[in-house]
């Protein structure tokens, strides 16, 4: 063995463990949203450590030094205490519960505890965190069984009906927003996957399921008698589970998509104006939220929320992801077992690796499903989509400005929260110093 290899091996062994290395090793190849979620959990764990007044590194050294049985008991207690901390409502760290104007809590004086569903996700991340820092026992089923995870109270999920989707489309003022909603409705993909589709990811397919060469003016392909459908190729790096897959574009929107492809360059994004994926998704979600609020003025059903076990209002029942649920549900009419919708939407099932269908067979499955994912729309006068009044343009501009202000507001709240947490640590340190000075300073003798 060469000395150079021994030195390199030694360097690898002595690499100190850190949060940065944790994210690199445990989330290699994972999506950015998974990494952000884990960072949020670790941040909450650090805040929990501040509340309980312990140093994380010292605690880990103490637990590691204990015998096997004691170590497991201490780890179980640590995670259970963290779960209890997450569930509790907390005093707002910005105003500290004082009767003052506070944008951090909107005068509520406290912050709601984490719900049961989210706690399960938190536990998953904190177990990975503890495993990385030298406690592999947290991965066992026996360890998980000892955790006091709260029961999840399920909700009766509300479907997005054809009538509601019709309302949604009618409320759209921009053709691009309407096209994106129709695409999500008839494709079943995630919004994150849609906004990353490039022009090169859309392929023309003939009646035999084979790839065709696109003409210079892509819309001219409709005159080709062999043209059958547009295939979408979702690249592995754009999907949630990093699995590449193919799907198709419905005949209901093929004309609009071909027109869009003629308008953009070869390497451009098809369904978004943003290259940054986070901004693109935020734009689509923000648009849906504004439309939902607008529709809620005349139809309160759009503003309905789920209620948790404590009677508190939670998430909205209708979100952008409701289009995905609608697609999968409607596909059940074509496949009573319910597998087709999940298959086309990119969900994997047990032993699904052995189901290797040809593109032609997959296309046949989509053709079967398309009979049941028809879009009901209000017939508009010809040319109405291109006629947008100045007042409507002003409204759209105002809505975009309000959305940007909301994002800035959330960022400001987070900064205030972080600054308050830092200030609280400094205040606690000052109090401890003063208490220590009082204990060691000699008392003056009375005359």
Please name each of the domains of the chain with its CATH number.
17-145 (no CATH), 162-405 (1.10.443)
Please report the pLDDT score of residue 312 as a whole number: 63
Residues 369, 341 contacting (CB under 8 angstroms): yes
Please report the pLDDT score of residue 16 as a whole number: 78
Structure confidence by residue, pLDDT tens digits, 10-32: 766 666 788 888 888 888 777 77
pTM: 0.62
State the sign of the Cα–Cα–Cα–Cα dihedral 31, 33, 34, 40: positive
What beta strand segments (E) does 80-166 contain?
90-91, 110-111
> Which residues make Cβ contacts (< 8 Å) with residue 147, sequence separation at least 6?
76, 79, 80, 83, 123
> What value does the mean pLDDT of the chain take?
81
Token pair of 234 as six digits: 């979702």
> Which residues make Cβ contacts (< 8 Å) with residue 224, sequence separation at least 6?
212, 215
In this structure, how many other beta carbons lie within 10 angstroms of the beta carbon of residue 213?
Answer: 6
Three-state DSSP class for 320?
A: coil
Please report the pLDDT score of residue 28 as a whole number: 79
Structure confidence by residue, pLDDT tens digits, 381-390: 444 444 444 4
Please report the pLDDT score of residue 295 as a whole number: 94
Three-state DSSP class for 245?
A: strand
Residues 119, 147 contacting (CB under 8 angstroms): no
Three-state DSSP class for 7?
A: helix
Q: Measured in Å, how far apart are the chain's first and last C-alpha atoms?
A: 82
DSSP output for 186-244: HH---HHHHTT-BGGGEEEEETTS-B-PPPSSGGGGGG-TTEEEEEEEE-GGGSTTS--
Residue 107 backbone zone (phi > 0: left; psi -120 to 50: alpha; other: beta): left
- pLDDT by residue for the chain (447 residues), tens only, comes to 567 777 777 766 666 788 888 888 888 777 777 888 889 899 889 988 988 889 999 999 999 999 988 899 999 999 999 998 888 877 665 566 667 666 556 666 677 777 777 888 899 999 999 999 999 999 998 898 899 888 766 666 778 899 999 999 999 989 999 999 999 999 989 999 999 999 999 999 998 888 999 898 999 998 899 999 999 999 998 988 788 999 999 999 999 999 999 999 888 999 998 888 888 998 999 999 999 999 999 999 999 987 765 566 777 889 999 999 999 888 888 776 667 777 788 776 644 544 567 777 778 888 888 877 888 755 444 444 444 444 444 554 565 566 566 667 666 766 776 676 667 667 777 777 777 667 666 555 544
The distance of Cα 273 from the centroid of its chain, to the nearest Å, equals 20
Please report the pLDDT score of residue 261 as a whole number: 94
Please report the pLDDT score of residue 363 as a whole number: 80
Token pair of 221 as six digits: 């392909």
- Which residues does residue 232 pair with via DSSP β-bridges, in sequence order? 202, 247
């Amino acid at each position: 063995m060469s000395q150079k290899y021994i030195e390199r091996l030694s360097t690898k062994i002595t690499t100190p463990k850190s949060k940065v290395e944790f994210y690199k090793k445990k989330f290699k190849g994972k999506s950015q949203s998974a990494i952000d979620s884990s960072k949020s959990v670790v941040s909450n764990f650090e805040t929990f450590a501040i509340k309980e007044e312990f140093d994380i590194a010292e605690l880990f050294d103490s637990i590691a030094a204990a015998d096997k049985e004691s170590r497991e008991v201490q780890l179980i207690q640590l995670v259970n205490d963290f779960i209890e901390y997450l569930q509790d409502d907390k005093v707002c760290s910005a105003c500290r519960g004082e009767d003052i104007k506070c944008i951090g809590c909107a005068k509520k004086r406290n912050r709601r505890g984490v719900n049961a569903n989210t706690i399960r996700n938190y536990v998953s991340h904190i177990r990975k965190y503890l495993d990385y820092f030298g406690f592999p026992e947290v991965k066992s089923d026996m360890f998980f069984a000892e955790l006091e995870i709260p029961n999840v109270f399920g909700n009766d999920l509300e479907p997005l009906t054809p009538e509601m989707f019709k309302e949604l489309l009618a409320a759209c003022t921009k053709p691009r927003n309407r096209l994106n909603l129709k695409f999500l409705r008839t494709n079943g993909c995630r919004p994150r996957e849609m906004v990353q589709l490039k022009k090169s990811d859309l392929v023309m397919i003939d009646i035999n399921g084979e790839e065709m060469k696109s003409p210079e003016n892509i819309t001219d392909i409709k005159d080709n008698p062999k043209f059958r459908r547009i295939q979408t190729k979702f690249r592995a790096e754009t999907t949630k589970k990093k699995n590449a897959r193919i799907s198709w574009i419905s005949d209901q929107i093929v004309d609009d998509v071909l027109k869009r492809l003629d308008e953009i360059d070869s390497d451009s994004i098809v369904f978004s104006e943003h290259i940054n994926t986070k901004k693109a998704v935020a734009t689509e979600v923000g648009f849906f939220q504004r439309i939902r609020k607008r529709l809620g003025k005349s139809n309160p059903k759009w503003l309905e929320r789920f209620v948790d076990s404590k009677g508190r209002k939670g998430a909205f029942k209708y979100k952008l992801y409701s289009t995905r649920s609608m697609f999968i549900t409607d596909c059940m009419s074509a496949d009573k077992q319910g597998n087709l919708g999940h298959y086309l939407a990119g969900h994997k099932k047990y032993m699904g690796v052995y189901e290797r269908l040809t593109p032609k067979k997959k296309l046949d499955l989509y053709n079967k499903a398309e009979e049941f994912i028809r879009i009901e729309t209000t017939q508009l006068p010809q040319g109405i989509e291109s006629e947008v009044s100045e007042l409507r343009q002003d409204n759209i501009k105002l809505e975009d400005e309000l959305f940007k202000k909301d994002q800035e507001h959330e960022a400001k709240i987070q900064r205030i929260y972080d600054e308050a947490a830092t200030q609280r640590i400094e205040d606690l340190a000052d109090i401890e110093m003063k208490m220590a000075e009082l204990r060691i300073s000699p008392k003056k003798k009375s005359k």
